Structure formats: C-alpha cells, structure tokens
C-alpha cells in the first residue's frame, strides 16, 4: 500500500433520493478496497471528521461521510449547521438510514470496491451506526460512544431520539463498541445493557471501555482527547475492519 489517496466533496443520493453533500476519500494504490461509511458526530460535518475520513483512505479503505445536516442548513458552516440541526431535534432516524444506504450503495459501486461496506459513527453517530447496522445489510459496524442506544434522553433535552436496543436481533454484521468509562452518555451501565442484549440475541460483538476516558476521546482537537484510548481504539478498528472489510 503506497498510501496515496484522493479526497473530495461530492454529491450522493441520500434518503428519498435527495442529493446531499458528502466527503469521499479513497486510496489510489490500484488494489481492491472495502468501504467505510463515516457518520459524523453531533458537532457536524467538520474538519475533524473529514480528517478521520482521510485516515481510512490512508489505511486502504474508501471512506464516505454524508453531511447529515445538509438539508437543514445547505451551504452553512459546520458549526452553524450543527446548531440548526440541534434546534430541530437532531437527524430523524429514518432519514439517517436512507442517507447511510445511499452512501453504502455509492461505495459498493466504486471501481475497485470489493463489495464490502462497514460503518463507523462517533457521539450521536455511534447510535446511528448501530441503527444503520440493524436496518441495512452491512459487513462491520463500529459504535464510538453512542448514547441512547440504551436509555431515554432526560426530560427537556432537545434531541428527539428513542432507545433502539430492541433492534439488536436485527443487527446484520459484527459490532465493535469503543467507550469511555467516565462517560455518562452512554454510561457504563448502559454499555453493559447493550452488551447483554447482543449476547442474548446471539450477535457477534466486542466492546472495549477505556479507563480515564470520557465522551469523545477520539477528538484530537478537543480537551476530551485521550491519547492512550484513542491510539488503542484506532488499533482495534484496524484489526476489526481488517477481519471483516479488507480487500
């Protein structure tokens, strides 16, 4: 692998056939590749998540991140778009699934694709990664500290989401979960409850919870960044995708 890649903004057909903005990074080495749909965190389609998308391409995967807030704030800066989406209660689940389906279809159709597509999501995207993997045929899913897979948002939260742990029997692929022990959303008890539900449903999964890490420990430009958890988490991701998505 020579690590050459190209990254660009494109349009894809999302939920309902809507044209939405997306960020594509893919390797140029000429070898076949698996695909990864990257689901951005609640703060939006920002520079940090684009960097994550490029990192997948540098490791030999075609990665595509749909702008989940494109319809709410076309052309707005990522932080303004995130504020608008937040005020609207977040991304509707049905729309999320449609957007991930569109991104996965795009990746499978790329010249050089090996036909395998995984998903990864951070923060609110962690829940959405699980949701997508329970709703669509995928090959591997990663949930990075997604809240409200288990548990209901407290009274007064603007986020209009429901717990989706009941979807566990529909999980279409192995799931890797990466969590912080100091996180409250999801709390260690909620992570344990999801683990139990997946065991009962007979679904392949592996969870890792990091001591001394809280929410958003992968975010290199935020105080929540925890270098040891993030480095080990990336290694877990490469190992997991290597088993289920690689060329």
Partner 1 sequence: MCTYLTEKIVVDGSGKGAAGWFSLTDATVYLDHPQHAPAEHTLNIDFLNPAQGPSARVAVELTADSARALARAIEAALQAAPPGLA
Residue ranges that bind partner 1, judged by CB under 8 A: 41-43, 72-73, 76-77, 79-84, 86-87, 90, 123-124, 147-148, 153-154, 156-159, 185-186, 214-216, 222-224
Nearer residue to partner 1 within complex by CB, 65 or 117: 65
Q: How far is CA 52 from CA 120, 152, 165, 196, 235, in A?
A: 10, 29, 27, 30, 14
Q: How far is the CB of 34 from partner 1 (least distance, A)?
A: 28
SS3 25: strand
**Burial class, 231, CB count within 10 angstroms (exposed 0-12 / middle 13-18 / buried 19+):** exposed
- Sequence-distant (6+) residues with CB within 8 A of 245 are 34, 35, 36, 61, 114, 116, 117, 118, 139, 140
Q: How far is the CB of 69 from partner 1 (least distance, A)?
A: 9
Helix spans in 110-225 (H): 124-135, 188-200
Nearer residue to partner 1 within complex by CB, 132 or 224: 224
Q: How far is the CB of 144 from partner 1 (least distance, A)?
A: 12
Nearer residue to partner 1 within complex by CB, 203 or 215: 215
Nearer residue to partner 1 within complex by CB, 62 or 161: 161
Q: How far is the CB of 183 from partner 1 (least distance, A)?
A: 9
Nearer residue to partner 1 within complex by CB, 73 or 245: 73
Q: How far is the CB of 63 from partner 1 (least distance, A)?
A: 22
Q: Are 99 and 20 in contact (CB under 8 A)?
A: yes
The token duo for 73 is 């704030």
- Local structure of residue 153 (DSSP, 8 states): P
Nearer residue to partner 1 within complex by CB, 135 or 219: 219
What is the Cα–Cα distance from 135 to 191, expressed in whole angstroms? 20
Q: How far is the CB of 98 from partner 1 (least distance, A)?
A: 22
Residue 197: how many CB atoms within 10 A of its CB? 19
SS3 119: strand
Nearer residue to partner 1 within complex by CB, 58 or 159: 159
Q: How far is the CB of 123 from partner 1 (least distance, A)?
A: 5
Token look-up 């997946």 returns: 198
């Amino acid at each position: 692998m020579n690590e050459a890649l190209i990254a660009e903004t494109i349009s894809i057909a999302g939920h309902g056939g809507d044209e939405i903005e997306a960020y594509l990074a893919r390797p140029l080495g000429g070898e076949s590749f698996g695909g990864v749909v990257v689901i951005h965190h609640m703060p939006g389609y920002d520079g940090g998540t684009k960097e994550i998308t490029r990192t997948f391409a540098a490791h030999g995967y075609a990665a595509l991140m749909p702008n989940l807030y494109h319809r709410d704030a076309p052309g707005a800066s990522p932080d303004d778009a995130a504020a608008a989406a937040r005020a609207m209660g977040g991304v509707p689940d049905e729309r999320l699934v449609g957007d991930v389906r569109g991104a996965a279809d795009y990746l499978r159709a790329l010249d050089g694709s090996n036909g395998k597509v995984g998903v990864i999501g951070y923060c609110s995207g962690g829940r959405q990664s699980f949701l997508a993997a329970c709703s669509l045929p995928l090959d591997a899913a990663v949930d990075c500290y997604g809240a409200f897979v288990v548990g209901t948002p407290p009274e007064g939260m603007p986020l209009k989401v429901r717990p989706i742990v009941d979807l566990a029997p529909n999980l279409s692929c192995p799931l890797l979960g990466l969590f912080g022990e100091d996180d409250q959303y999801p709390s260690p008890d909620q992570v344990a409850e999801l683990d139990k539900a997946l065991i009962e449903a007979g679904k392949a999964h592996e969870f890792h919870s990091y001591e001394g890490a809280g929410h958003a420990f992968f975010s290199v430009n935020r105080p929540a960044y925890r270098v040891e958890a993030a480095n080990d988490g990336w290694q877990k991701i490469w190992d997991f995708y290597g088993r289920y998505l690689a060329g």
